[in-house]
Structure 1
Amino acid sequence: MDQPYTLKDRGGETTVTDDVSRRTLLSKMVAAIGGLIAAGVGVPAIAYVVAPASKSGREDVWVPIGSTRQIELGTPTLFKAKIDRTTGWVTQTEETGVYVYTDNGRDYVALSNVCTHLGCRVRWVEDQQSFFCPCHNGVFSKTGKVLDGPPPKPLESFDVRVEGEQLEVHWDA
């Protein structure tokens, strides 16, 4: 071991020794390495646990539903869409129906097939030129407006875009 030496600074004298034993040095090195390993494993583990729980589950998605060739002018056509919803660690695939119609082949209207009253499925009735909900006799126009019955608001509508001949609806997942 070296001899202690004295440093002088403004606050007075300080005695410093180089008295570090091999055991003390090794224990501090092992503690430092252990801390680095714990941080290396702990930070990703915490991120894995916390990140999915912090997701809101809301995501804007364009969902392909079918071809424009399937639509007859002036008649709503039912398409089935599969939507993946992720909340935390759980991803669920939901199948829903979307009615799409156009009068001119350029401007498309997309409506949910879920009644706004109690969530029953509506269907297009050709001879009545309206959507009908069999649960409580709700009736909706071709544009989704309530014509009769207890539904409190129009059918939900979706933004539509056409990519080539592929129809896509904007879905707030």
Structure 2
Amino acid sequence: MLKRVSAEHHEESYFMSEVTQTKDVSRRGFLGTLTWAIGALIAAGFTAPALAYIIGPALEQKKTDEWIRLGLSNKVELGVPTLFKAAVERQTGWIVNREEITVYVLTHDGREFTAMSNICTHLGCRVRWIEDRSQFFCPCHNGVFNQQGEVVSGPAPRSLDRFEIKVEDDQIFMRGA
């Protein structure tokens, strides 16, 4: 026995199958979007620590309030930045690290001294004094600083960092490193 199907019923069943297909496409689209979102989160999870490792040293600011002895003031030639090295202990949580810091000390009269970091303010590379040009030079990205540590050219966003300095009994001390 064959059942007769009206045109109205046929149209209704076509419409229902279209709705069902739309629902399937939406589910498929949702699952595809969810897969991409999870993949992006996983990629960010791997990328963030790598970026922090690469960029972190340039952004990290570890300072000490203790006065650090650099050396004798008579070692600094007038008008010539002189490199001094000192050992500093820094505590992070319960871990104490001993690290060597280097700073340039400059005087024009033998009484007033200026201490500048030898770390470029761009990405943390070490600058060096080029005497025949009377400039500090950063070899990483060709940053150039004048004798006072001010940016002359290159990508550095600001001058070299300066530190508080004092002289007692011909010894140079600095803090803020």
Q: Give the TM-score normalised by the residue count of structure 2.
A: 0.63
Which of the numbers 162, 173, 177 marks the counterpart of 1:157? Answer: 162
- Let me know the Cα RMSD of the aligned residues: 1.3
Q: Which residue of 1 aligns with 2:132?
A: 127
Which of the numbers 156, 168, 171 marks the counterpart of 1:166? Answer: 171
Checking the alignment, whether the CA contact within 8 Å between 2:65 and 2:175 is kept in structure 1 is: yes
Letter in 2 for 1:137: N
More helix by share: 2
SS class of match (2:111): coil
Q: d(CA) in 1 for partners of 2:140 and 2:63?
A: 30
Letter in 2 for 1:72: E
Q: Which residue of 2 aligns with 1:107?
A: 112
Superposed displacement of residue 82, structure 1: 1.1
- Which 5+ residue runs of structure 1 have no aligned equivalent? 1-56
Q: Which residue of 2 aligns with 1:73?
A: 78
- Give deviations 1:101-134, integer Å, cap 9, x for gaps: 1000011010000000110000000011010000
Q: d(CA) in 2 for partners of 1:94 and 1:82?
A: 6
1:1-173 superposed matches below 5 A: 59-171=64-176
Checking the alignment, whether the CA contact within 8 Å between 1:63 and 1:171 is kept in structure 2 is: no
Number of corresponding residues: 116
Letter in 2 for 1:158: F
Q: d(CA) in 1 for partners of 2:88 and 2:172?
A: 15
- Which 5+ residue runs of structure 2 have no aligned equivalent? 1-61
Q: Give the TM-score normalised by the residue count of structure 1.
A: 0.64
Shift of the 91–143 alpha-carbon distance from structure 1 to 2, 3 Å rule, reads: same
More strand by share: 1
Superposed displacement of residue 59, structure 1: 4.6
Q: d(CA) in 2 for partners of 1:163 and 1:64?
A: 10
Stretches of 4+ aligned residues off by more than 6 angstroms: none
Superposed displacement of residue 171, structure 1: 2.2
